[in-house]
Amino acid sequence: MKKNIIISTALAAMLLSFSSCEGFLTQENPNKIAAESYFQTENDAERALNGVYLALRSNNCLGEGSTMFTEERSDNMGRLDNQSSSGEPFQFTDFSLLPSNTYLKNHWVAMFTAVTRSNFLLTYIDEVAFEDEAVRTRYKAEAKFVRALVYFHLVRKWGDVPLVTTYLTTTEEINANTFREKKETVYAQIVQDLKDALNSDLPDIQPESGKGRACKAAVSGLLGQVYLTMATTLSDGNKDSYLQQAKSYLEMCYGMRKFGSLSEIPYEDVFDVSKKSTCPEIIFQIVYKQGDKDYYSSIAANNQAKGETINSQKKSTGAGNYVNTDIVKEYEETDSRKEWSVKYADDAVAKSYFITKFRDVSDAAGTLGYGGNDWILMRYADIILMLAEVNMYLGNETAAIGYLDEVRARAGMPGYAAMQSNVVYKTLCPTLKLAILHERRVELAFENQRWFDLLRFFTANELVTYIHNKKQDDYGISNIKNFGTKDIYYPIPFDEYKLNPELMYQNPGY
Protein backbone atom coordinates (compact mmCIF):
# COMPACT_ATOMS: atom_id res chain seq x y z
CA MET A 1 0.00 0.00 0.00
CA LYS A 2 1.33 3.39 -0.88
CA LYS A 3 1.61 5.33 2.36
CA ASN A 4 1.96 8.89 1.14
CA ILE A 5 -1.20 11.02 1.22
CA ILE A 6 -0.49 12.94 -2.00
CA ILE A 7 -3.39 11.70 -4.11
CA SER A 8 -3.71 11.98 -7.88
CA THR A 9 -6.21 14.35 -9.45
CA ALA A 10 -7.83 11.42 -11.18
CA LEU A 11 -8.55 9.78 -7.83
CA ALA A 12 -10.03 13.01 -6.51
CA ALA A 13 -12.37 13.22 -9.49
CA MET A 14 -13.36 9.58 -9.07
CA LEU A 15 -14.23 10.01 -5.40
CA LEU A 16 -16.10 13.22 -5.95
CA SER A 17 -18.23 11.47 -8.56
CA PHE A 18 -19.80 9.32 -5.88
CA SER A 19 -22.24 12.00 -4.97
CA SER A 20 -23.43 15.58 -5.10
CA CYS A 21 -24.39 17.80 -2.18
CA GLU A 22 -27.82 18.42 -0.78
CA GLY A 23 -28.03 19.85 2.70
CA PHE A 24 -25.34 18.60 5.06
CA LEU A 25 -25.05 15.17 3.43
CA THR A 26 -24.17 13.89 -0.01
CA GLN A 27 -26.51 11.94 -2.25
CA GLU A 28 -25.71 9.47 -5.01
CA ASN A 29 -25.58 10.76 -8.57
CA PRO A 30 -27.54 8.23 -10.70
CA ASN A 31 -25.23 8.89 -13.65
CA LYS A 32 -22.20 7.62 -11.73
CA ILE A 33 -21.12 4.32 -10.25
CA ALA A 34 -23.47 3.05 -7.53
CA ALA A 35 -21.92 3.39 -4.10
CA GLU A 36 -22.79 -0.15 -3.04
CA SER A 37 -21.12 -1.50 -6.18
CA TYR A 38 -17.85 0.36 -5.80
CA PHE A 39 -16.03 -1.95 -3.37
CA GLN A 40 -14.68 -4.96 -5.23
CA THR A 41 -11.03 -5.26 -4.21
CA GLU A 42 -8.58 -4.23 -1.50
CA ASN A 43 -7.36 -1.54 -3.86
CA ASP A 44 -10.86 -0.05 -3.99
CA ALA A 45 -10.87 0.16 -0.20
CA GLU A 46 -7.42 1.75 -0.19
CA ARG A 47 -8.49 4.39 -2.69
CA ALA A 48 -11.64 5.12 -0.67
CA LEU A 49 -9.47 5.63 2.42
CA ASN A 50 -7.21 7.97 0.47
CA GLY A 51 -10.35 9.91 -0.39
CA VAL A 52 -11.13 10.28 3.31
CA TYR A 53 -7.74 11.89 3.89
CA LEU A 54 -8.13 13.97 0.74
CA ALA A 55 -11.26 15.56 2.19
CA LEU A 56 -9.24 16.84 5.16
CA ARG A 57 -6.94 18.77 2.82
CA SER A 58 -9.62 21.22 1.74
CA ASN A 59 -9.10 24.73 3.12
CA ASN A 60 -12.81 24.68 3.87
CA CYS A 61 -12.23 21.61 6.03
CA LEU A 62 -9.05 21.34 8.14
CA GLY A 63 -6.37 22.25 5.58
CA GLU A 64 -3.79 25.00 5.97
CA GLY A 65 -6.22 27.71 4.85
CA SER A 66 -8.77 26.92 7.57
CA THR A 67 -7.39 29.57 9.94
CA MET A 68 -10.37 31.79 9.12
CA PHE A 69 -12.57 29.48 11.17
CA THR A 70 -10.33 29.36 14.27
CA GLU A 71 -7.35 31.75 14.43
CA GLU A 72 -9.35 34.66 13.03
CA ARG A 73 -12.12 33.84 15.46
CA SER A 74 -9.63 34.21 18.31
CA ASP A 75 -7.50 37.15 19.45
CA ASN A 76 -4.50 36.06 17.33
CA MET A 77 -5.49 37.16 13.84
CA GLY A 78 -7.86 39.47 12.04
CA ARG A 79 -8.51 41.38 8.83
CA LEU A 80 -7.35 44.74 7.51
CA ASP A 81 -10.20 44.87 4.99
CA ASN A 82 -13.92 44.64 5.70
CA GLN A 83 -15.16 45.56 2.24
CA SER A 84 -15.94 43.84 -1.08
CA SER A 85 -14.63 40.26 -1.22
CA SER A 86 -13.39 40.47 2.38
CA GLY A 87 -16.82 41.31 3.76
CA GLU A 88 -17.87 37.75 4.59
CA PRO A 89 -14.47 36.63 5.98
CA PHE A 90 -14.44 39.76 8.14
CA GLN A 91 -17.61 38.56 9.88
CA PHE A 92 -15.64 35.79 11.62
CA THR A 93 -13.17 38.11 13.33
CA ASP A 94 -15.68 40.94 13.87
CA PHE A 95 -18.14 38.62 15.64
CA SER A 96 -20.84 39.71 13.22
CA LEU A 97 -21.30 36.31 11.58
CA LEU A 98 -24.56 35.75 9.71
CA PRO A 99 -26.21 32.37 9.08
CA SER A 100 -26.16 33.23 5.36
CA ASN A 101 -22.34 33.51 5.29
CA THR A 102 -21.16 31.40 2.35
CA TYR A 103 -17.76 30.64 3.91
CA LEU A 104 -19.55 29.24 6.95
CA LYS A 105 -21.71 27.04 4.73
CA ASN A 106 -18.67 25.83 2.79
CA HIS A 107 -16.94 24.91 6.05
CA TRP A 108 -19.96 22.91 7.19
CA VAL A 109 -20.27 21.09 3.85
CA ALA A 110 -16.54 20.32 3.63
CA MET A 111 -16.48 18.74 7.07
CA PHE A 112 -19.57 16.67 6.41
CA THR A 113 -17.95 15.59 3.14
CA ALA A 114 -15.11 14.11 5.22
CA VAL A 115 -17.67 12.43 7.48
CA THR A 116 -19.56 11.05 4.49
CA ARG A 117 -16.40 9.60 2.93
CA SER A 118 -15.51 7.97 6.24
CA ASN A 119 -19.01 6.51 6.47
CA PHE A 120 -18.77 5.29 2.88
CA LEU A 121 -15.68 3.24 3.64
CA LEU A 122 -16.97 1.96 6.98
CA THR A 123 -20.34 0.96 5.51
CA TYR A 124 -18.98 -1.12 2.63
CA ILE A 125 -15.45 -2.26 3.51
CA ASP A 126 -16.64 -5.53 5.06
CA GLU A 127 -17.89 -6.61 1.62
CA VAL A 128 -14.29 -6.86 0.38
CA ALA A 129 -12.13 -9.94 0.90
CA PHE A 130 -8.76 -9.05 2.44
CA GLU A 131 -5.72 -11.32 2.39
CA ASP A 132 -4.71 -9.85 5.74
CA GLU A 133 -7.55 -8.96 8.11
CA ALA A 134 -5.23 -6.60 9.97
CA VAL A 135 -5.23 -4.33 6.92
CA ARG A 136 -9.04 -4.08 7.03
CA THR A 137 -8.85 -3.26 10.73
CA ARG A 138 -6.26 -0.53 10.09
CA TYR A 139 -8.36 1.02 7.32
CA LYS A 140 -11.37 1.10 9.63
CA ALA A 141 -9.27 2.61 12.42
CA GLU A 142 -8.01 5.38 10.15
CA ALA A 143 -11.50 6.20 8.87
CA LYS A 144 -12.87 6.32 12.43
CA PHE A 145 -10.02 8.56 13.51
CA VAL A 146 -10.79 11.05 10.74
CA ARG A 147 -14.51 10.92 11.47
CA ALA A 148 -13.84 11.57 15.16
CA LEU A 149 -11.43 14.40 14.38
CA VAL A 150 -13.94 16.15 12.13
CA TYR A 151 -16.84 15.67 14.54
CA PHE A 152 -14.64 17.10 17.31
CA HIS A 153 -14.36 20.27 15.26
CA LEU A 154 -18.06 20.27 14.44
CA VAL A 155 -19.27 19.86 18.01
CA ARG A 156 -16.97 22.57 19.35
CA LYS A 157 -17.98 25.03 16.64
CA TRP A 158 -21.74 24.39 16.51
CA GLY A 159 -22.67 22.40 19.62
CA ASP A 160 -25.52 20.03 18.68
CA VAL A 161 -24.99 18.74 15.13
CA PRO A 162 -26.40 15.98 12.90
CA LEU A 163 -24.73 12.70 13.86
CA VAL A 164 -24.47 10.21 10.99
CA THR A 165 -22.39 7.03 11.15
CA THR A 166 -23.60 5.15 8.05
CA TYR A 167 -23.52 6.02 4.35
CA LEU A 168 -26.95 7.32 3.36
CA THR A 169 -28.16 6.45 -0.13
CA THR A 170 -31.80 7.58 -0.33
CA THR A 171 -33.67 10.83 0.20
CA GLU A 172 -35.73 9.12 2.89
CA GLU A 173 -32.59 8.16 4.84
CA ILE A 174 -31.21 11.68 4.52
CA ASN A 175 -34.46 13.26 5.69
CA ALA A 176 -34.57 10.91 8.66
CA ASN A 177 -31.09 12.05 9.70
CA THR A 178 -31.66 15.77 9.21
CA PHE A 179 -31.73 16.74 12.85
CA ARG A 180 -29.28 18.04 15.44
CA GLU A 181 -28.13 15.47 17.96
CA LYS A 182 -27.26 16.63 21.47
CA LYS A 183 -23.57 17.43 21.88
CA GLU A 184 -23.19 14.90 24.70
CA THR A 185 -24.22 12.13 22.29
CA VAL A 186 -21.83 13.45 19.65
CA TYR A 187 -18.98 13.36 22.16
CA ALA A 188 -19.88 9.78 23.08
CA GLN A 189 -19.58 8.77 19.41
CA ILE A 190 -16.24 10.56 19.09
CA VAL A 191 -14.92 8.68 22.12
CA GLN A 192 -16.18 5.36 20.78
CA ASP A 193 -14.60 5.91 17.36
CA LEU A 194 -11.24 6.75 18.92
CA LYS A 195 -11.33 3.78 21.29
CA ASP A 196 -12.12 1.54 18.34
CA ALA A 197 -9.17 3.04 16.45
CA LEU A 198 -6.85 2.30 19.37
CA ASN A 199 -7.94 -1.35 19.20
CA SER A 200 -5.97 -1.94 16.01
CA ASP A 201 -2.37 -2.50 14.98
CA LEU A 202 -1.78 1.05 13.81
CA PRO A 203 1.84 2.00 14.51
CA ASP A 204 2.53 4.14 17.57
CA ILE A 205 4.17 6.70 15.27
CA GLN A 206 4.03 6.57 11.49
CA PRO A 207 7.36 6.02 9.69
CA GLU A 208 8.56 8.63 7.22
CA SER A 209 6.75 6.85 4.38
CA GLY A 210 3.46 7.01 6.28
CA LYS A 211 3.35 10.67 7.26
CA GLY A 212 -0.16 12.00 6.91
CA ARG A 213 -1.81 8.81 8.16
CA ALA A 214 -3.29 8.15 11.58
CA CYS A 215 -1.19 6.49 14.27
CA LYS A 216 -1.85 5.43 17.86
CA ALA A 217 -0.10 8.50 19.24
CA ALA A 218 -2.49 10.70 17.26
CA VAL A 219 -5.50 8.65 18.35
CA SER A 220 -4.59 8.66 22.04
CA GLY A 221 -3.58 12.33 21.95
CA LEU A 222 -6.88 13.32 20.37
CA LEU A 223 -8.80 11.17 22.83
CA GLY A 224 -7.03 12.93 25.69
CA GLN A 225 -7.95 16.32 24.24
CA VAL A 226 -11.56 15.22 23.77
CA TYR A 227 -11.86 14.14 27.42
CA LEU A 228 -10.19 17.36 28.58
CA THR A 229 -12.68 19.37 26.53
CA MET A 230 -15.59 17.37 27.90
CA ALA A 231 -14.34 17.97 31.45
CA THR A 232 -14.18 21.73 30.95
CA THR A 233 -17.24 22.37 28.77
CA LEU A 234 -19.91 19.79 29.66
CA SER A 235 -22.09 20.00 32.75
CA ASP A 236 -23.04 16.35 33.19
CA GLY A 237 -21.44 15.65 36.58
CA ASN A 238 -18.56 13.62 35.15
CA LYS A 239 -15.78 16.21 35.28
CA ASP A 240 -13.44 14.26 37.58
CA SER A 241 -13.83 11.07 35.54
CA TYR A 242 -13.19 12.93 32.30
CA LEU A 243 -10.05 14.53 33.75
CA GLN A 244 -8.67 11.17 34.82
CA GLN A 245 -9.38 9.75 31.37
CA ALA A 246 -7.74 12.77 29.75
CA LYS A 247 -4.64 12.32 31.87
CA SER A 248 -4.45 8.61 31.04
CA TYR A 249 -4.68 9.03 27.27
CA LEU A 250 -2.40 12.08 27.14
CA GLU A 251 0.20 10.13 29.11
CA MET A 252 -0.24 7.24 26.68
CA CYS A 253 0.49 9.56 23.78
CA TYR A 254 3.45 11.14 25.59
CA GLY A 255 4.87 7.69 26.26
CA MET A 256 4.95 6.94 22.53
CA ARG A 257 7.31 9.82 21.68
CA LYS A 258 10.61 8.98 19.98
CA PHE A 259 12.70 11.51 21.92
CA GLY A 260 13.55 12.27 25.53
CA SER A 261 13.00 15.94 26.37
CA LEU A 262 11.43 18.50 24.06
CA SER A 263 14.66 20.51 24.26
CA GLU A 264 16.28 17.93 21.99
CA ILE A 265 14.20 19.35 19.10
CA PRO A 266 14.90 22.98 18.11
CA TYR A 267 11.68 24.95 17.74
CA GLU A 268 12.51 25.94 14.17
CA ASP A 269 12.97 22.26 13.22
CA VAL A 270 9.25 21.69 13.75
CA PHE A 271 8.50 24.06 10.85
CA ASP A 272 11.57 23.39 8.72
CA VAL A 273 10.18 22.28 5.36
CA SER A 274 13.19 20.00 4.81
CA LYS A 275 12.56 18.14 8.10
CA LYS A 276 8.79 17.81 7.99
CA SER A 277 8.88 14.01 7.54
CA THR A 278 11.61 13.36 10.11
CA CYS A 279 10.86 15.76 12.99
CA PRO A 280 9.93 13.52 15.96
CA GLU A 281 7.71 16.18 17.53
CA ILE A 282 5.08 16.04 14.78
CA ILE A 283 2.38 13.46 15.49
CA PHE A 284 -0.16 14.08 12.71
CA GLN A 285 -0.02 16.37 9.70
CA ILE A 286 -1.65 17.05 6.35
CA VAL A 287 1.00 16.46 3.70
CA TYR A 288 1.67 18.94 0.90
CA LYS A 289 4.05 18.38 -2.02
CA GLN A 290 6.71 20.94 -2.78
CA GLY A 291 6.70 22.15 -6.40
CA ASP A 292 3.55 20.24 -7.36
CA LYS A 293 0.99 22.46 -9.08
CA ASP A 294 -1.96 20.60 -7.55
CA TYR A 295 -0.79 19.60 -4.08
CA TYR A 296 1.61 22.36 -3.09
CA SER A 297 1.37 24.42 0.10
CA SER A 298 0.64 28.12 -0.30
CA ILE A 299 0.79 29.06 3.37
CA ALA A 300 4.30 30.56 3.24
CA ALA A 301 3.52 32.78 0.25
CA ASN A 302 0.03 33.71 1.44
CA ASN A 303 1.30 34.88 4.82
CA GLN A 304 4.05 37.05 3.37
CA ALA A 305 3.63 40.82 3.21
CA LYS A 306 4.71 43.09 0.36
CA GLY A 307 8.42 43.86 0.31
CA GLU A 308 9.31 40.80 2.40
CA THR A 309 11.26 37.71 1.36
CA ILE A 310 11.50 35.71 4.60
CA ASN A 311 8.71 33.24 3.76
CA SER A 312 8.80 32.68 0.03
CA GLN A 313 10.42 33.66 -3.25
CA LYS A 314 6.97 34.63 -4.48
CA LYS A 315 6.52 38.39 -4.37
CA SER A 316 3.52 39.57 -2.41
CA THR A 317 1.41 42.57 -3.33
CA GLY A 318 -0.61 42.63 -0.12
CA ALA A 319 -0.21 42.70 3.66
CA GLY A 320 -0.25 38.94 4.21
CA ASN A 321 -2.46 37.46 6.88
CA TYR A 322 -2.90 40.11 9.57
CA VAL A 323 -1.55 39.39 13.06
CA ASN A 324 -3.19 41.19 15.96
CA THR A 325 -0.76 43.30 17.99
CA ASP A 326 -2.35 41.70 21.05
CA ILE A 327 -0.45 38.44 20.56
CA VAL A 328 2.80 40.20 19.58
CA LYS A 329 2.77 41.98 22.93
CA GLU A 330 2.25 38.70 24.78
CA TYR A 331 5.64 37.26 23.79
CA GLU A 332 8.17 37.66 26.59
CA GLU A 333 11.22 39.77 25.77
CA THR A 334 13.71 36.91 25.39
CA ASP A 335 11.31 34.41 23.81
CA SER A 336 12.99 33.07 20.66
CA ARG A 337 9.63 31.87 19.33
CA LYS A 338 8.60 35.45 18.57
CA GLU A 339 11.38 35.96 16.02
CA TRP A 340 10.47 32.72 14.30
CA SER A 341 6.71 33.36 14.30
CA VAL A 342 6.04 37.02 13.45
CA LYS A 343 7.69 40.00 11.74
CA TYR A 344 6.71 43.62 11.19
CA ALA A 345 6.26 44.62 7.54
CA ASP A 346 7.16 48.25 7.01
CA ASP A 347 5.82 48.55 3.47
CA ALA A 348 3.10 51.18 3.13
CA VAL A 349 0.65 48.51 1.96
CA ALA A 350 1.12 46.56 5.17
CA LYS A 351 2.44 48.48 8.18
CA SER A 352 1.55 45.50 10.32
CA TYR A 353 2.79 42.18 11.65
CA PHE A 354 2.55 39.09 9.49
CA ILE A 355 3.14 35.35 10.11
CA THR A 356 6.63 33.97 9.44
CA LYS A 357 6.17 30.60 11.15
CA PHE A 358 5.74 28.75 7.86
CA ARG A 359 8.55 29.29 5.34
CA ASP A 360 9.71 27.79 2.07
CA VAL A 361 12.21 29.88 0.12
CA SER A 362 13.56 26.86 -1.78
CA ASP A 363 14.12 26.88 -5.51
CA ALA A 364 11.76 23.90 -5.69
CA ALA A 365 8.95 26.13 -4.40
CA GLY A 366 10.23 28.92 -6.64
CA THR A 367 8.72 32.27 -7.50
CA LEU A 368 5.25 30.73 -7.87
CA GLY A 369 5.24 29.86 -4.19
CA TYR A 370 4.61 26.14 -4.68
CA GLY A 371 5.74 25.34 -1.14
CA GLY A 372 6.11 22.07 0.67
CA ASN A 373 5.06 22.97 4.22
CA ASP A 374 2.91 20.35 5.89
CA TRP A 375 -0.02 21.53 8.00
CA ILE A 376 0.53 20.25 11.53
CA LEU A 377 -2.64 19.13 13.31
CA MET A 378 -0.96 17.61 16.36
CA ARG A 379 2.51 17.83 17.90
CA TYR A 380 4.07 16.99 21.23
CA ALA A 381 4.32 20.51 22.66
CA ASP A 382 0.53 20.58 22.48
CA ILE A 383 0.30 17.22 24.30
CA ILE A 384 2.78 18.33 26.97
CA LEU A 385 0.90 21.55 27.67
CA MET A 386 -2.40 19.65 27.87
CA LEU A 387 -0.71 17.39 30.44
CA ALA A 388 0.17 20.54 32.37
CA GLU A 389 -3.44 21.66 32.10
CA VAL A 390 -5.04 18.43 33.22
CA ASN A 391 -2.63 18.02 36.15
CA MET A 392 -3.39 21.59 37.19
CA TYR A 393 -7.11 20.82 37.21
CA LEU A 394 -6.46 17.66 39.24
CA GLY A 395 -4.54 19.64 41.84
CA ASN A 396 -1.10 18.22 41.01
CA GLU A 397 0.69 21.53 40.54
CA THR A 398 4.17 20.03 40.76
CA ALA A 399 3.53 17.81 37.73
CA ALA A 400 1.75 20.63 35.92
CA ILE A 401 4.70 22.99 36.38
CA GLY A 402 7.10 20.26 35.27
CA TYR A 403 5.31 19.89 31.95
CA LEU A 404 5.01 23.66 31.56
CA ASP A 405 8.73 24.07 32.18
CA GLU A 406 9.59 21.42 29.58
CA VAL A 407 8.07 23.63 26.89
CA ARG A 408 9.59 26.82 28.29
CA ALA A 409 13.05 25.22 28.48
CA ARG A 410 12.98 24.38 24.77
CA ALA A 411 12.29 28.07 24.06
CA GLY A 412 15.22 29.09 26.31
CA MET A 413 12.88 30.60 28.89
CA PRO A 414 13.25 30.44 32.71
CA GLY A 415 11.02 28.03 34.58
CA TYR A 416 7.72 28.96 36.20
CA ALA A 417 9.13 29.18 39.74
CA ALA A 418 11.95 31.49 38.66
CA MET A 419 9.44 33.78 36.93
CA GLN A 420 7.43 34.39 40.11
CA SER A 421 9.75 37.29 40.95
CA ASN A 422 9.29 38.82 37.49
CA VAL A 423 6.67 41.57 37.81
CA VAL A 424 5.81 41.62 34.10
CA TYR A 425 5.28 37.84 33.99
CA LYS A 426 3.25 37.84 37.22
CA THR A 427 1.02 40.56 35.83
CA LEU A 428 0.50 38.60 32.61
CA CYS A 429 0.17 35.24 34.37
CA PRO A 430 -1.12 35.76 37.92
CA THR A 431 -2.17 32.11 38.19
CA LEU A 432 -0.78 28.78 36.99
CA LYS A 433 -3.85 28.36 34.82
CA LEU A 434 -3.18 31.62 32.99
CA ALA A 435 0.52 30.73 32.73
CA ILE A 436 -0.42 27.54 30.88
CA LEU A 437 -2.84 29.45 28.63
CA HIS A 438 -0.11 32.01 27.90
CA GLU A 439 2.39 29.27 27.04
CA ARG A 440 -0.07 27.58 24.71
CA ARG A 441 -0.68 30.88 22.94
CA VAL A 442 2.95 31.69 22.16
CA GLU A 443 3.98 28.09 21.52
CA LEU A 444 1.08 27.12 19.24
CA ALA A 445 0.34 30.49 17.63
CA PHE A 446 -1.40 30.31 14.24
CA GLU A 447 -1.84 26.51 14.45
CA ASN A 448 -5.64 26.59 14.98
CA GLN A 449 -5.47 25.93 18.73
CA ARG A 450 -6.12 29.34 20.31
CA TRP A 451 -9.90 29.58 19.84
CA PHE A 452 -10.46 26.11 21.28
CA ASP A 453 -8.14 26.94 24.19
CA LEU A 454 -10.22 30.00 25.03
CA LEU A 455 -13.42 27.92 24.96
CA ARG A 456 -11.81 25.37 27.27
CA PHE A 457 -10.19 27.75 29.78
CA PHE A 458 -13.17 30.08 30.30
CA THR A 459 -16.90 29.85 30.79
CA ALA A 460 -18.98 31.81 28.27
CA ASN A 461 -19.37 34.81 30.57
CA GLU A 462 -15.71 34.72 31.61
CA LEU A 463 -14.65 34.70 27.97
CA VAL A 464 -16.80 37.73 27.20
CA THR A 465 -15.09 39.61 30.03
CA TYR A 466 -11.66 38.41 28.89
CA ILE A 467 -12.18 39.59 25.30
CA HIS A 468 -13.80 42.89 26.27
CA ASN A 469 -10.86 43.72 28.56
CA LYS A 470 -8.48 43.73 25.61
CA LYS A 471 -7.39 46.98 23.98
CA GLN A 472 -9.26 47.76 20.77
CA ASP A 473 -6.10 49.24 19.26
CA ASP A 474 -4.40 45.84 19.58
CA TYR A 475 -7.22 44.07 17.74
CA GLY A 476 -7.24 45.85 14.37
CA ILE A 477 -10.45 47.10 12.79
CA SER A 478 -12.60 44.27 14.19
CA ASN A 479 -14.88 45.45 16.99
CA ILE A 480 -14.15 43.33 20.07
CA LYS A 481 -17.22 44.76 21.81
CA ASN A 482 -19.34 42.76 19.35
CA PHE A 483 -18.29 39.58 21.14
CA GLY A 484 -21.00 38.04 23.31
CA THR A 485 -22.09 34.69 24.67
CA LYS A 486 -23.80 33.86 21.37
CA ASP A 487 -20.37 33.77 19.72
CA ILE A 488 -19.35 30.67 21.66
CA TYR A 489 -20.99 28.76 18.79
CA TYR A 490 -21.40 29.48 15.11
CA PRO A 491 -24.88 29.91 13.68
CA ILE A 492 -26.31 26.94 11.81
CA PRO A 493 -25.92 27.82 8.09
CA PHE A 494 -29.26 29.13 6.83
CA ASP A 495 -29.56 26.53 4.06
CA GLU A 496 -29.25 23.79 6.68
CA TYR A 497 -31.65 25.41 9.11
CA LYS A 498 -34.39 25.78 6.50
CA LEU A 499 -34.26 22.03 5.71
CA ASN A 500 -36.13 21.51 8.98
CA PRO A 501 -36.45 24.64 11.18
CA GLU A 502 -37.71 22.56 14.10
CA LEU A 503 -35.07 19.80 14.12
CA MET A 504 -32.23 21.91 12.69
CA TYR A 505 -32.96 24.67 15.21
CA GLN A 506 -30.80 27.78 15.20
CA ASN A 507 -28.27 28.53 17.92
CA PRO A 508 -29.29 31.28 20.38
CA GLY A 509 -28.62 34.86 19.38
CA TYR A 510 -28.77 34.37 15.61
Would you state the pLDDT for residue 99?
98
Predicted confidence (pLDDT) per residue in 389-433, tens digit: 999 999 999 999 999 999 999 999 999 999 999 999 999 999 999
Predicted local confidence at residue 138, as pLDDT: 97
**Domains present along the chain, CATH in parentheses:** 1-202 (1.25.40.390), 299-373 (no CATH), 381-477 (no CATH)
Tens of pLDDT, residue by residue over 209-268, are 999 999 999 999 999 999 999 999 999 999 999 999 999 999 999 999 999 999 999 999
Predicted confidence at residue 38, as pLDDT, reads 85
DSSP 195-241: HHHHSS---SS--GGGTTS--HHHHHHHHHHHHHHHHHH--SS-HHH
Note the pLDDT of residue 303.
96
Residue 507 pLDDT exceeds 50: yes
pLDDT at 5: 40
pLDDT at 334 exceeding the cut of 50: yes
Check whether 15 has a pLDDT greater than 60: no
For 145-171, write each residue's pLDDT tens digit. 999 999 999 999 999 999 999 999 999
What does the pLDDT average to over 486-508? 97
Mean local confidence (pLDDT), 293-308: 96
* CA–CA dist 449, 134 (Å, integer): 34
pTM, 2 dp: 0.93
Query: What is the model's pLDDT at position 263?
Result: 98
pLDDT in tens, 244-258: 999 999 999 999 999
Say if residue 193's pLDDT is above 70: yes
Higher-pLDDT residue of 26 and 287 is 287
Identify each DSSP E strand in 271-382 by its residue range: 282-286, 322-323, 342-345, 352-355, 375-379
A 10 A CB-CB count for 339 gives 11
Instruction: Indicate if the pLDDT at residue 4 is higher than 60.
Output: no
3-state secondary structure of 371: strand
Q: 367, 315 in Cβ contact below 8 A?
A: yes
Mean pLDDT in the chain? 93
Q: Identify which of 354, 357, 358 has the alpha carbon closest to the alpha carbon of residue 345.
A: 354
Residue 37's pLDDT band (cuts 50, 70, 90): confident
Specify the range with the lowest mean pLDDT, choosing from 4-13, 93-102, 313-322, 332-341. 4-13
- For the stretch 423-465, pLDDT in tens is 999 999 999 999 999 999 999 999 999 999 999 999 999 999 9
**Which H or E element spans position 28?**
strand 25-28
